[in-house]
A and B are shown apart, each in its own frame.
Chain A
């Protein structure tokens, strides 16, 4: 590992592995008794040979189907789990060895496990966090004001958390995790269960502080919108291995090459549109929707043909939704 690399990198993972011993219990009474005397354990490889590197300020989408090894990896990076093999450093520290020290520099929001005290207004939890993270009073005040402004929390902070909507609560949760200006933050399903408006707000807030503070973000989400809007880079993990590590735009281009073209014509169409390799999904009097594989038929050719048919008023060329892409990858 080069010295210079380690300084600019936020997270460096190399050959990380994690194996668990799972106790096997045979069915039935005899099986239960037998497992008392002779416990049988099966070894499960949750994470095998994972390597990647995150630069400071990067926003990474870390996705994979359930059971792929995502949370195991995150737990190792936050110092909760000791790996069976390999190395990792977060901000130059080894998470499982320097856990206490690292705790001051990382933040985490686990969508399923709230940290705000339920019966108290968020402000009280904020204050508690400022003490836990040992923030000076003036530092805390500045931070507090900044976060309230950025996330627009002013009217929320005095209300007990139990009275806030889910979206408002999540905003406060994320703000709380940023109080101590962590350099790396792990967001696990931050938009789960939120409606479109709330999702938009959360994404905007995340984007904002990433820009302002160069916070490195490690995002886990099942929501394709989150990934598309926030993350320039995606790592997909399945069966404990990385199967994709590249820019989000490459994800679509590499994995699904289907394209959809939507056209509005100025004159009525007098005959059905036909082109080899192109499927006519829908044809109306003035409209046309086509789908084709851009590897089989060049996009340019299709567009030329379309434009030659009748005068076009509007044309739209779209990638397949990220959902489909991800689904296709999971299926592998």
Chain B
């Protein structure tokens, strides 16, 4: 890790630059460490990811027959191939993403969160980057395991490779959004003894309104409209749909919606976090 000698460049600007790099290195290191952690017992992760194979098989059977009963073609603009690939992508996010609500909830209850305060990092930011490493590994695994089935049953979808960077960006923002929501739920552990019911509700909301049950495009108009506005669809549906059926206008719309919700819910999370820490400082949690 090379470092520009302070004396060579303008004092404050260089210090600021170094500080930024140090912070990036700091949190990047956390991501890497958890990534290594995952790889340390990779067979365990593989075992857990085998689940996707089962799910996909069921989906393929189900939707194949649905499409067949309608004589093939498209439903709401999605072909069978696109629908299956949509599910693969959506499930990759849903099953691969780190369960921040669970983790934070546990740490509040067993007091680990208090000790994290003595370390020179921000608790939430630490957790986001920590989860990122794990999420990355899990998603790759799911993709690798699910690819064979999907390819064997419906082949490849028509994807323009140039759209992938945009899709990755939306995917990243989706993870940030999920983090913000899940953390808020996890922090509820300061208020209620058990956050299990809240976590369950959150999971179901993502499931239904996030297009994991069926693609939102297949829902009645009014429900589609509601789902698209709410943040839940931005976590799984939006990235997956963009992957299989990219359009520039869709992309900008999704981006705007994601950023909107991240900012709004992010502010709320910040307030909640501050309140929670205050509570910890006074009451010992």
Chain A nearest Cβ from B23, distance in angstroms: 8
The interface stretch among A55-63, A76-84, A267-275, A313-321 is A76-84
Q: How far is the CA of A117 from the CA of B40 in the complex (A)?
A: 11
How many residues of B are counted as interface, with CB atoms below 8 angstroms from the partner's CB atoms?
26
Q: Does A329 contact B (CB under 8 A)?
A: no
Would A104 and B114 be within 8 Å (CB), given that A81-B284, A128-B33 are in contact? no
> Within the complex, which residue of B40, B120, B281 is in contact with A80, where a contact is CB–CB below 8 Å?
B281
Across-interface contacts of B28 in A (CB, < 8 A): 131
Q: 1/0 contact trace for A60-91 toward B, CB 8 Å?
A: 00000000000010010011111000000000
Q: Is the CB of B120 within 8 A of A104?
A: yes
Across-interface contacts of A160 in B (CB, < 8 A): 40
Across-interface contacts of A81 in B (CB, < 8 A): 281-282, 284
Contact count A vs B, C-beta below 8 Å: 72
Across-interface contacts of B280 in A (CB, < 8 A): 80
Minimum CB distance partner of B118 in chain A: A78
Q: Does A256 contact B (CB under 8 A)?
A: no
**In the complex, chain B residues 147-192 whose Cβ is within 8 Å of any chain A Cβ:** none
Across-interface contacts of B29 in A (CB, < 8 A): 127-128, 131-132
Q: Does B253 contact A (CB under 8 A)?
A: no
Residue among A78, A106, A134 with most chain B CB within 10 A: A134
Chain A nearest Cβ from B270, distance in angstroms: 16
Across-interface contacts of A96 in B (CB, < 8 A): 281
The SS class assigned to the B binding surface is: helix
Q: Does B41 contact A (CB under 8 A)?
A: yes
**In the complex, chain A residues 90-139 whose Cβ is within 8 Å of any chain B Cβ:** 96, 99-100, 103-104, 106, 108, 110, 113, 117, 119-120, 124-125, 127-128, 131-134, 136-137
Q: Is the CB of A20 within 8 A of B115?
A: no
Q: Is the CB of A80 within 8 A of B26?
A: no
Chain B nearest Cβ from A95, distance in angstroms: 9
Q: Is the CB of A103 within 8 A of B36?
A: no
Minimum CB distance partner of A186 in chain B: B118
Q: How far is the CA of A132 from the CA of B33 in the complex (A)?
A: 12
Q: Is the CB of A110 within 8 A of B115?
A: yes
Q: Does A21 contact B (CB under 8 A)?
A: yes
Q: How far is the CA of A296 from the CA of B40 in the complex (A)?
A: 66
Q: Is the CB of B284 within 8 A of A120?
A: no
Q: How far is the CA of A131 from the CA of B30 in the complex (A)?
A: 9
Q: Does B3 contact A (CB under 8 A)?
A: yes
Across-interface contacts of B119 in A (CB, < 8 A): 103, 132
> Within the complex, which residue of A21, A75, A119, A131 is in contact with B37, where a contact is CB–CB below 8 Å?
A119
Would A137 and B1 be within 8 Å (CB), given that A80-B118, A99-B117 are in contact? yes
Chain B nearest Cβ from A268, distance in angstroms: 63
Q: How far is the CA of A81 from the CA of B281 in the complex (A)?
A: 4
Q: Is the CB of A132 within 8 A of B37?
A: no
**In the complex, chain B residues 86-131 whose Cβ is within 8 Å of any chain A Cβ:** 112, 114-115, 117-121
Q: 1/0 contact trace for A5-32 toward B, CB 8 Å?
A: 0000000000000001100000000000
Q: How far is the CA of A80 from the CA of B118 in the complex (A)?
A: 7
Q: Is the CB of A128 within 8 A of B40?
A: no
Q: Is the CB of A80 within 8 A of B33?
A: no
Q: How far is the CA of A75 from the CA of B1 in the complex (A)?
A: 35
Residue among B25, B28, B282 with most chain A CB within 10 A: B282
> Within the complex, which residue of A21, A103, A117 is in contact with B33, where a contact is CB–CB below 8 Å?
A117
Across-interface contacts of A104 in B (CB, < 8 A): 120
Chain A nearest Cβ from B27, distance in angstroms: 9
Across-interface contacts of B30 in A (CB, < 8 A): 128, 131-132
Q: How far is the CA of A245 from the CA of B22 in the complex (A)?
A: 42
Q: How far is the CA of A1 from the CA of B117 in the complex (A)?
A: 28
Across-interface contacts of A120 in B (CB, < 8 A): 33, 36-37, 40
Across-interface contacts of A79 in B (CB, < 8 A): 117-118
Minimum CB distance partner of B19 in chain A: A134
Chain B nearest Cβ from A102, distance in angstroms: 8
Q: How far is the CA of A283 from the CA of B28 in the complex (A)?
A: 70
Chain A nearest Cβ from B278, distance in angstroms: 8
> Within the complex, which residue of A20, A75, A82 is in contact with B114, where a contact is CB–CB below 8 Å?
A75
Q: How far is the CA of A136 from the CA of B22 in the complex (A)?
A: 10
Across-interface contacts of A113 in B (CB, < 8 A): 112, 115
**In the complex, chain B residues 1-53 whose Cβ is within 8 Å of any chain A Cβ:** 1, 3, 22, 25-26, 28-30, 33, 36-37, 40-41
Across-interface contacts of B37 in A (CB, < 8 A): 117, 119-120
Across-interface contacts of A132 in B (CB, < 8 A): 26, 29-30, 119-121
Chain A nearest Cβ from B150, distance in angstroms: 31
Across-interface contacts of B249 in A (CB, < 8 A): none
Across-interface contacts of A137 in B (CB, < 8 A): 1, 3
Would A131 and B281 be within 8 Å (CB), given that A80-B115, A119-B37 are in contact? no
Chain B nearest Cβ from A241, distance in angstroms: 19
> Within the complex, which residue of B3, B22, B33, B114 is in contact with A124, where a contact is CB–CB below 8 Å?
B33
**27 cross-chain CB contacts under 8 A:** A21-B283, A72-B284, A78-B118, A79-B117, A79-B118, A80-B114, A80-B115, A80-B118, A96-B281, A99-B117, A103-B118, A103-B119, A103-B120, A106-B118, A108-B118, A117-B33, A117-B37, A119-B37, A120-B37, A124-B33, A127-B33, A131-B30, A132-B29, A132-B30, A134-B22, A134-B26, A137-B1
- List residues of B whose CB falls within 8 A of some A CB: 1, 3, 22, 25-26, 28-30, 33, 36-37, 40-41, 112, 114-115, 117-121, 280-284
Known: A119-B41, A120-B36, A120-B40. 11 other contacts (CB 8 A): A75-B114, A80-B114, A80-B115, A80-B118, A81-B282, A99-B117, A108-B118, A132-B121, A134-B120, A136-B1, A136-B3
3 nearest A-B residue pairs (beta carbon): A131-B29, A103-B120, A119-B40
